[in-house]
Amino acid sequence: QVQLVESGGGLVQPGGSLRLSCAASGIIFSISVMGWYRQVPGKQRDLVAVITSGGSTNYAQSVKGRFTISRDNAKNTVYLQMNSLKPEDTAVYYCYTSGSGDYWGQGTQVTVSS
């Protein structure tokens, strides 16, 4: 059974920081591509960041230089460090893995507001 459990979301002020975590089970984590997506009501779910099994990363232009994706294979966990947050970063953030199929976490809400 594949499970992706996100945590770390919450309410922060513009310019603040949050660190999201995604704990994975039911996959061979060390060889799996992992990613973070985000979605607001009425809009499509967009890629935020992705990290390969070898540690290569790619980011959406809108978050480049502000967000950092990383992974800890010993803990089967992928992280998203979000700095210099803006109101337009407000969304539900979803963890993703390609694995043997496409799997999504339940999502964690990030709200950036003063």
Share of residues in the chain with pLDDT > 70 (%): 100
CA dist 3 and 11 (Å) reads 25
CA dist 33 and 55 (Å) reads 9
Give the model confidence (pLDDT) of 53-77 as tens digits: 999 999 999 999 999 999 999 999 9
Q: What is the pLDDT of residue 20?
A: 98
What does DSSP assign to residue 14? T
**Over residues 83-104, mean pLDDT:** 94
**Burial category of 26 from C-beta neighbours within 10 Å (exposed 0-12, middle 13-18, buried 19 and up):** middle
Instruction: With cut-offs at 50, 70 and 90, classify the pLDDT of residue 99.
Output: confident
